[in-house]
Chains A and B, each alone.
Chain A
C-alpha cells in the first residue's frame, strides 16, 4: 500500500477486492436471472406441456415480441429517460408500412422503408423536444403517446375508411418481407420465429454497445448523472436523441413483424404495451432513476413475462390472475434492485 498514511485505517476494508459473490450481486441481471430460473422450473414442474418443444417455441416467441422493445426501452431507462409512446409506436410502424404499400400500390419493401423513416422521425422528435425543452420525458412522450394513439386511428380511418388496414398479403415483395420479419423454421420440433433472432441480435448488439463502446459509457453517464456527464464533455443531448432513435428502430422491427404475420393491422392497438416494456426492463434490473441496468436483463425480464403469460395458460389457471403475478414480480424485482443500488452507492 503506497497510499498516504493519512488515509484512515478504516478505509482498508473499502480498498479490499470484492469477493466473487459480491461481484455477482452487483450485476443488474442477477434478480431477473434468479426469477427467470424460478419461473421456468415452476412451470416445468406444474405443467406437463411447458417443456415440450411446441410450448417452448410459443414461449420464446411471446418473449421475443416483448423483448425486441424491452431492449431499447432498457437502454433508454439506463440513460435516465422513459418512452411512453413505445407501445403505440409499434402500431404506427405497422400502419405506416401497410398503408404506404397499399395506397401507392408499391412493392412492400417501399412501405417497410418509409415506415423506418417514420419511426426514426418520431424518435428524433421525442429526443429533440426533450433536449430542447428540458421537460421530463414522462410528459414529452406522454404527449407523443396520445398524439400517436389519435393519429393511428384518425389517419387509418381517413385513408382506409375503416379502423383496420387492408390486407397486403397479395402484394409484390410480401413474401420476402414476411420471411424476414415473420418467418420461422423448425429444429427438432422447436419452431423458432424470426422475432427470436431479431431479439437475440438486438440483445447482443445492445450489450456490446453498453459495455464495450464509448456510446455505452455515455448512456450510463447520462442516466447516472447528466450534469456530471455534460461537465466532462459527454454530448448529453445527442446521446438521448440516439436512444430515442433506438426505440424508433426497434418499434419498426416489431411493427413490420406484426404487419407481415397478420397481413392487416388494427389501428387501435399497442396502448398499454409501453408499460409492459418498462416492466420487462425493470424486472431485468434497470433502475427507474437511470444509470444502471443491462440489455441482457431486459431479455430475462421479457422471458419471465413470456413464461408467465403462457405458463398460466399451460397450467390451465384462470388468466384473470396473470396481472397479479406480474405485479408481484415487478415489486419483488424492484425491491431487489433498490437494495442492490443502496449497496452500490453506500460510500
Chain B
C-alpha cells in the first residue's frame, strides 16, 4: 500500500481554499429505508466538526459515506473542492481520510507495532526479497505513540492487552502518522470511563492542533462541546441543527439533544481533572505548529 507519508501531514496546507470535506444535501437509502436525507457537513483543517445524535439518527450511515464504505445516493461529496463518489475505504484512505471505528480496527492478538502499520507496512528490498523493516516499524511506532503522549516500553505486546483508552489513542496516532488530512472518529469515548474519555479527547485535540480536520461522532454533547468547532445534530436521518461554536452554548447543545442532563457531572469531573484547562479555553485560531499538551 502506498499511503501518504508522514511528511505529507506536516506539509499539509494549513489554510486550503476549499474545506477539506464538504458534503451537501447527502442522502443514502438502504433499499426502501431512507437512512440519511439532505444532510450537510463541512470539515476544515485544524477544526473539529462534531456529529451528534441518538442511536439510529444516521450517524453511522454518515460515517460510512465519508469513509467510503457506502457510496452516497444523493447530494454532493467534495474533498478539497473535488467532487467524489467513494466506493471503497481504500479510496478514502488514499485521499487522506482515515476513519477510527468504534471497534478501532485493531487486531487484538497482534503486537502493537504490527497493528500500527497494518495495511501500510514498511518494507526493505524489492520483488522477491521484499521484507518487513521490523526494527524501523518498531521504532517508528513507539516514536509516533510517544508524540501523542503514549509511552509503551514494549510495542511487542498484543494490542489487546492495552486499556480501551490506550487502544483508542493508538488508533488515532496511527491515523495521524499515516498523513491523514481528515480524521473520522466514531464514538471514541463511548465505551470509556470519565478519565480515559478525557485522555482520548486530549489526543483528538492534539490531532487537531497538528492541522488535521476532525469529524467527531458522539452522542455526548458534553464531550462534543469540550472540543468541537462545528456541531451537526442528526435526528432520524435528517439535520436537526447545525451550529458553529460561537452560536451555541453547552446548555443549548444539551437541550437540543434529548436527555443529557446527568452528564453535567462529567463536565465537573473533567474540569477537576484539568483537561479543560488545555482543551476548553483554547485560542480562537488554529495554531500553526503542532501543540504539545502539557
Contacts and interface: CB of A to CB of B under 8 A. Distances in A.
B283 to A, nearest CB: 21
Contacts of B106: 225, 228
A214 B114 contact: no
A23 B154 CA distance: 11
A11 B163 contact: yes
B151 interface: yes
Interface stretch (B127-135, B239-247, B258-266): B127-135
A3 to B, nearest CB: 4
Contacts of B132: 212-214, 216-217
Nearest to A344: B158
Q: Specify the main secondary structure of chain B where it touches its partner.
A: loop
Contact of A18 (B108, B131, B157, B274): B157
Interface in B93-131: 93, 99, 101, 103-110, 114, 117-121, 123, 130-131
B103 A227 contact: yes
Contact of B108 (A2, A216, A218, A225): A225
Given A6-B198, A233-B119, A217 B114 contact: yes
Interface in A220-274: 220-221, 224-225, 227-234
A7 interface: yes
B118 A346 contact: no
A295 to B, nearest CB: 16
Interface string B70-96: 000000000000000000011001000
Contacts of B163: 11, 14, 347
Interface of B: 1, 3, 89-90, 93, 99, 101, 103-110, 114, 117-121, 123, 130-132, 134, 146, 149-154, 156-158, 160-164, 166-167, 195, 198-199, 202, 273-275, 293
A21 interface: no
B160 A344 contact: yes
Contacts of B152: 15
Contact of B273 (A6, A231, A287, A344): A6
Contacts of A208: 131
6 contacts: A2-B151, A4-B202, A225-B105, A228-B105, A233-B120, A292-B109
Among A4, A218, A341, the most chain B Cβ lie within 10 Å of the Cβ of: A4
A345 interface: yes
A291 B146 CA distance: 27
B154 A231 contact: no
Contact of A233 (B90, B104, B149): B90
A17 B154 contact: yes
A231 B101 contact: yes
A158 interface: no
